[in-house]
Structure 1
Amino acid sequence: MSRQNGPWQINDFTTGYENPWIRVEHNEVTRPDGSDGIYGIVRFANLATGVLPLFEDGTTMLVGQHRFAFDAYSWELPEGGCPKGEAPEAAALRELREETGLTAEHILPLGEAQLSNSVTDEYAYYYLAWGLEAGKAAPDADEILEQRRIPLSVLIAEILAGEVTDALTILMVERAVLKAQLALLPERPRDLILSALKGLPGVST
């Protein structure tokens, strides 16, 4: 039975592939202009979560790992999946602890995002964390991770230079900077972020 999806009509639907993390859907459709077509969607089993950790000295922690899809090494803020039944904030704190060993006294939502809304339904929740305490990392069995503690100012400069390309990392930093500039964050993380901006060309605090 056909059904409407906004201006699209879905005439038939099949699952082309499925594993514990994704499902690939194939849709036979009538396009908004009335012509026949197809539309493929990747459905994610988990939500995405990310966290920007801020140390009292103005540094943050990046995680380095090889990304299979791009066959390339990537430096990112701590990120991971949130399965059904787990709260996104709890998942973000869990990923922070697993990937870096850090625990946080304070965590604050920075925002939500559709990461690739043309061909996937991946949805992300991302956070700012401070009041950090060091511990031992416990990555998953399929993760070979490095940690890199750097000034937030250096991370901002690397993003501006195109050296850090992970979308969620860029989004977390840009949202945190914007909220700090608009005084929409608690005083301590706001001051740390604004201090990181000093000296960066073209950035007004």
Structure 2
Amino acid sequence: MHDPLHEEQQSTEQVFDGKLLHVFRDEVRLPDGRLGLREYVRHPGAVVVIPVCEDGTLIFERQFRYPLRRAFLELPAGKIDAGEDILACARRELQEETGYVGAEWRHLGVMHPCIGYSDERIEIFLATGLHHVGHAWDEGEFLEIIRMPLTEARAAVFDGRITDAKTITALFWAERELAG
């Protein structure tokens, strides 16, 4: 089925090739037939995990995010390595960053955090049956691990303590999944 809003790529040029981010500039044919330019970032994708402890609290991490020059409260997350299965990535990131492993896992959905300039997708997982085995932080990675009830996390979104988009989206899913 033809989408009347579709933009057809006419040409592409890579303008930056970094370790994580790859920036492109494409010429596209617009729906009205004219030509336009689109600049965007290609990203390998990521996962975010909602780790639910036996007492119902969630595990968060607080870490410094250089682009905004401050620490953020967020759910555990990380980049999908080339060829890596998304569940394997979620399991790896949870253990590396928080020191916890989960016995039960459920894939909840996907979000696209920056649709105006990136193809990044973040796969959302719920992990339960947690037990602590010890973290395996990457070199140069520094985190604080924080446990918080869902009600407090929700309040933290509305009072500005949590502003990270992947965390807010995942908490929306957590409310639905943990309501019963």
What is the TM-score with the length of structure 1 in the denominator?
0.79
- C-alpha spacing 1:81/1:19, structure 2 compared with 1 (3 Å): same
> Does the aligned pair in 2 maintain the 1:110–1:176 contact within 8 Å?
no
> Does the aligned pair in 2 maintain the 1:47–1:88 contact within 8 Å?
no
| Structure 2 residue aligned with 1:169 | 167
1:76 partner letter: E
CA RMSD of aligned residues (A): 1.7
- Taking only the aligned residue pairs, the percentage that are identical comes to 32
Unaligned runs of 5+ in 2: none
Match of 1:147 among 145, 157, 177: 145
d(CA) in 2 for partners of 1:85 and 1:30? 32
- C-alpha spacing 1:33/1:158, structure 2 compared with 1 (3 Å): same
What whole-Å deviation, never above 9, does each CA across 1:13-59 have from its counterpart, x for those lacking one?
Answer: 21000123121001123433344431101001x22101111111121
Larger RCO, structure (CA 8 Å, separation 6 or more): 2
| Structure 2 residue aligned with 1:185 | none
| Structure 2 residue aligned with 1:23 | 22
Deviation at 1:127, TM superposition (A): 0.8
| Structure 2 residue aligned with 1:56 | 54
What whole-Å deviation, never above 9, does each CA across 1:85-128 have from its counterpart, x for those lacking one?
Answer: 21111111110000010011111112112222221100111111
What whole-Å deviation, never above 9, does each CA across 1:71-98 have from its counterpart, x for those lacking one?
Answer: 2210101000111221111111110000
- Equivalences for residues 114-193 of structure 1 within 5 A: 114-181=112-179, 190=180
Counterpart of 2:129 in 1: which secondary structure?
strand
d(CA) in 2 for partners of 1:53 and 1:9? 41
Paired residues, what number? 176
Deviation at 1:146, TM superposition (A): 1.1
d(CA) in 2 for partners of 1:106 and 1:179? 14
What is the TM-score with the length of structure 2 in the denominator?
0.89
Deviation at 1:149, TM superposition (A): 1.6
2:32 partner letter: D
Unaligned runs of 5+ in 1: 1-5, 182-189, 191-205
Larger radius of gyration: 1
Q: Following TM superposition, where does structure 1 have runs of at least 4 consecutive aligned residues deviating by more than 4 angstroms?
A: none
